[in-house]
Each structure stands twice: as structure tokens, then as C-alpha cells.
Chain A
Amino acid sequence: MRRLFLIALIAGCAAAQLPAQLLQLRITGLDGLAAKAKESTDITLDSNLLKMAGGFLAGADKDGKDGDTIKQLLSGLKAITVRSFEFNEPGQYRIEDLEQIRAQLRTPGWSKIISSQNKNEISEIYTRMEQGKVAGFAIINAEPKELTVVAIEGTINLNDLSKLKALGVPSIPVPEKKGKQE
């Protein structure tokens, strides 16, 4: 009886873990693009590295006000993956290259919260909610000469994230939208 209870407990824990693992976004299908790109960024940080990063940033507060926001954002995260490519000329990638990623984002659990598409540019933001909190977050940004995919696992406040200054670009003030939930 006790053994049965233990087996049931282990099976229950495994079942609880399984959906979260299945819902984790894997950035695939972009492997060949780095060779064509003028510049590429490939960052993968798991929970251990994020913990180390948090510890390092806590010790070295060089970023001032932004540093606090970064530390706060990192504390809730489990993984970050960034693939970004900058090309010399348009046409170096196809929108179909994103299909493997977009297929994962069409599965239940993920929902598209922002989508902007014209003939040259695509901006999509997806979130995965767990118990009323953002548990996963993905960005696809495709421009003629630039392609960026970001996948973040963990709880994150998108308003705090949007306040971070971008690399060399001042953050864009965005008016509060009524009825838009993030």
C-alpha cells in the first residue's frame, strides 16, 4: 500500500512536470542563418547560469537604475534564449524558416498577444500563462535585414521589461492601452 502510494506520488509529480517541459519553446530551424549573417547573437542561459548571472550582477552594480530592474527581472526567470541575425542585404532568410518555432507557439498554452504584420515586417509576441502569471514569453521580430527570436521561461513583468533601455536605442514610450492585458 505504501509502495503504491509512493509510485502514485512520483507519477503525479512527473505528470505535473511534463506539460511545462512540453510547453518550453525550442528555437530550431535557424541553424544555417549565422553563416549568412553580418552579425549574429546566440545566447542560451539556463537556470544555473541565470543564478550565476544574478549573483554576479548583485556584486557589480554598474548599470545603476537599470541594474536593479535587470536583477529583479532575472530573479523570476528559468531560461533565456536569444537568436538574432543582422544581414547585409534583404532576402537572406525565409519566413518559412520560422515555421518550426511558430508551430510550437500554436500549441495550447501559448497565446499571441501582439501581432503586427506587413509585407516586409513581422512582430509577434506570445505569452504562456500559469496560475494567472506570465510563465513563458516569446518574441519574433522579422525585418528585411534582421531576424530576432527571443524565448523566455519564467515569471516576467512585461512592463518592467519594456522599461529597460535597449542596446544603444532609447526605450520607446508606449501609452497605456485600455483592455489590453499583458
Chain B
Amino acid sequence: MAPPTIAERRPEVVTRHLAAGREGWLTSATSADHKEVAKLFIGTSLTFLAVAVLAFVLTRVHLIVPGSTIFRPDIFSQISTASMTSITVLFAVPFVLGVLGYIVPLQIGARGVALPRLNQLAYWLYAAGTLTFFVSFLYLVPETGLFPLPPLSDDVYSPQHGVDAWIGGVGLATLGFVCWAINMVATLKNMRAPGMAWRRAPVLAWAARVISYIVLVAGPAMIAGLVMLAIDRNFAGVFFDAGEGGEPLLFAHLAWIYFTAIHTIMVVFALAVISEIVPTFSRKPLFSHSAVTTSIVAVGVLGTLAWMQNLYASPVADGFAYFAMLMALALLVPIGLIYVIWTLTMWEGAISTRAPLVLAIASAIALAFGLGGQWVTSVVGAGLLLENTVAAQQDTILTIVGFVLAGFAALHYWMPKLTGRVVADGPAKAAAGLILVSAAIYGFAMFFAGLAGQPVDVYRYFSDDGVSTLNLIATIASVFLMLGVFLELVNLVRGYGAGRPAGHDPWRGSTLEWFALSPPPPHNFDAVPDVRSPEPLRDIREAIRLREETFVPPEPLPASAPAEVGVPDPGDDAGMSDEAAAVDAPTADPDDIVSGEAADDSDSDTESADEVEPADEPQPEEGRGAADEPHEGEELDTDEGSDESGDGSPVS
């Protein structure tokens, strides 16, 4: 289990002789290491992605012809409830928490997380939630849809226990998310690498911060709603009982805050992942780091505040409706800005179309249509026409598809860090195309069906509705959508177990997670470098390159001729890395993983040096040494304009 480390000679860092002999699953289940916990999150949530997609296709197959009788109405509602709950609560959020929980501590140069046991508890609460919800399939499944709106979900209209299981499952999972968010906020506040001011923090770390705060706001709101509903159902409460002075709409608002927050989390995560991938694969810095991070904060705030854009038809005052409309419309500014920045980042870049970038672009396309559709229906007049029809639903589904593609992109991008292996490109690109095309066809079909008035969640439509052909098309498209998702899931599982070796920095990343080994040791880093820009690893690389270029051999005797003796001393740092590269390059680099695009030695030697060489000097010292002088002046006076000055400084 313990990967090779460069710290062998340091007494304070012990990675050998950890409790050996435990079985793998036992280690995973009991370890409080954020990486082990995160892998559990990712694995479990991907299982529920498969479940949700399968259930979704089952509902679509049922709707293939008008008046279909494949499933009984209650069975249909149960499958539909399982699908919607799985994709949001049991897949989307925990998947985000998993990826962020693995990568972000590495990105900020932390050697662990602030509250590891709380982090671990988060996973097990979530696992208990999934179990609680799905165990109800053994007795009575909830059939109240994604929103068990109170009069329907109270003990009069839903006397069966399925709704209680739904409450318990979602409540436990949400409590887990809140625990995770507390830990992430504490980690981000306290454990960043020296010099990593917020303006230099990677985009994904910003996303983690925003997502944590969203969870901390929306999670407790949902838990409060669920507790009230549970009291209403089981202890004769009247919170939502209009006959006793309660307010049924209160639950609708609390639930929409939560599910709008989940939607926002998906969007923020997808935008952040694409913003990480695009610069790496165009070999350019993000066009404006500060604008992207600010925009991500804005998306988080505006998106969560816009929850009432789904409640225009309910009795809300006009002022609130217009407020929600303004928030939803204003989302165009940060999201549009991010799209423009992606374009400008790739402009005149050296783009390599590997799987992460292809998936990221596919995600950007799906998101544009999904979010664009939501932007259109956020105008009150248009929303009242399409709200709760399949036309509005397909916007949400396209956004979720965009999120799933971004998730796949993230896994392709960071899988080398998780396992030291790279996932195959071919199936991923095929899956991206398949998913995107079938989602687009589905979207268009459902768009027209929604305009014709087909509502959501129906198990039946009628042949005189004029939507039969559209539903047939949507069903066929959804089958292909499922095939695409499953193809990619299989590809990921294969890549996890048996991908080709990747080395420590296959993409030539510029953030700190690529400074760690692959997979990282339990303590992540033997030495944490100082950070002087949003691209710390690039700074280190530049510093090493500079050292090599300007290398002058040491002159023990001032009298001898200085000019001719330009050969590096084998004992020197730089010479050592060259040797390491020579040893390492044939095995890991050339065509295996980078297929001739990142295979040049200027980067691979810095990374592979610590893999092969037990000597721990080169990297930390380069990082720190180069950090010394230009560091002081620059840290104080420039902030985000420092993209230029930040990377210029080690050279000058």
C-alpha cells in the first residue's frame, strides 16, 4: 500500500511500516485519510449514477407509446422517485464531494485535512442514507417524486412508510454533506501551503469553498424541512397542515432551496473542472484567474438565491418572483464571462485534444444549452408557460448531462493522480459524442413536447396530445444516452484497475496536486513548496530550467579558466534529474500516456526525479530556493495581474 517516497531518510516522516497486512477493503473502510474517504465517495456515487440512469431509462421505456401499461402507475412513480433522488442526492453531491475531497487538499498543499474523522463520518452518514432510502424498496417505496410536497406526503395522503424512508435517507445523506463541508471549510482556512493566498488558490479550491458554503446554507434548511415533515407524519405535527394554521408551501420553499443548491453545486463544479482542464491542455495560463474565481463565487451566490424561479406558479408575491428572475438572469454575467475566458485561454494555445479536454468541451456544450434554456424560462412570463413541463425538465437534464460529462472529464484528468494510471482515451471520446448527441436529441424532442403541454412525472399521456412521436424519439435517445454513460463507466473502472502507467505529472499540470506522487502517500507531501502564483508547479519547473540554462560549474580555484568547463557535475542536482529522466523516460513517458505531447524532458524530469531517486533534495530545494528573492516584492503588491509577473519573476 505504501507508495515509494522520497522521505526515507527523514525520521519525522514515516511511510514504511504502517500497519501492514490489513485487507484493502478494511483499510479503506477505517482510514480517515481524506483520499481513502474520497475514493469511497466517488465509487459509491458512481454506482448510483448507474442506478439513476437505469431507472430513468426504465421510465422512458414506459413512456414509449401513449397509454402504456408496462408498469403500474405506482411502480412507475417509484422508479421515477428512485431515479430523481439518486441522480441528485445520491450521485451528484457526493460525487462532487469525493472529487473535491481528494484533489483539493492536494491542490492547496495540505498534508491532510483539518477534521479527518468528521470527514470520514460524512461518508458513513451518506452511506447510511443510501441504505435507508433503498432498503425501503423491500417494504414500501416512496412514490411522491423528487418533491414530497406536504399535503401529498403527510400521513393522510401517503400513509405508507416509504416517505419516512425517503426523509431518513435524504436527511442522513444531507447531514453527511454538512459534516463534509465543515471539514472542507476548516481545511481550506487553515492548511493551505505557505504563500497560497486566496488569490493564488486554484480554481477547484475556490469551487470547494463555494460549494462548502452552499452546503452549509442549504443543507440545514433541508434537514429542518425534513424534520418538520417527519414530525407532521409521525407525531401529529401541524407545520404543513393548512387546516391547523400550518403552511404547506413552507416545505416547497425549503426543498427548492436545497435542490436549487444541488443544481448550483453541479454547475459550479463543472465550471471549475473545465477551468482547470482548459489551461492545462492549451499550455497557457487561464486568461484571467481572478475573473474565473470571482465568477464562480457569483454563480454560487446567484444560483442559490434564484430558487424561487421554480415557484412562479405558486402563490408568491410578485416582488419575490422578480427577485428570483433577476438572480437567474444575472447568472449570465459570470457564466458567460467564464465561457469567454475559456475561449480566450485556448486562443493561440497549443491544444491537445486528449480525453479530458474532449469531455470538458462536450460538457461546456451541454451546459450551455441546459443553462441557456433555464435562463430563458427564468423570465416569469415564459416560466409560467413551461414550468413543470418536460420542456423545462429537459433543460435541467441537459445541465445534469453537462455535469456528468464534467465529472467524467475530472476523473480522466485526475485518475493518474488517484492510481498512477491513465484511463483510455478512445472509449471516452466515443462516449462523449454518444452522450452529447443523444442528450441533444432527447432535449429537442422534449422541448417540443413541453411546448405542447406535457407535464413532468406523468406515467401516461394520450394519443390526442400530439406528443407520441416526440416521446418515441426521446425514449430511443435516452437508451443511447444510457449506453454512452455505461460505456464510460466501464472505461473508468478498467482504467482504475488496469490503465497504463502515467507517471506523476502526465498532463504537465501547474497546480500542486501534480507535485505529489501518484498515488500520493498518506501524508501527501514530503515537502510543501512555497507558492508565489496560481501556477506553483510551473514556477518550480521554470526555476529548474533556469538553473540548468544558467548553470556555471563551481570554481574551486579562482585562477583557472572559467569558460570551457560547461559540463554538469554528475553530483549536482541538475545532473541528477537528467539521469533520472533518462532512466524514467522510456518506461513511463514517451507514447504510453502523453503520446508525444508532454513527453519532453523539461517537465518529466522534475516529477520523475522524486519517483526514482531516493535523494530528497532537488525538488523542495528548487521550490524554496527559487522562491526566495522575487518572492517578497511580488507577493505584496500585485494580485491577479500577477499572472504575468508571477511567471516572469523566476526567469528574470
The judgment on whether A and B are partners is no
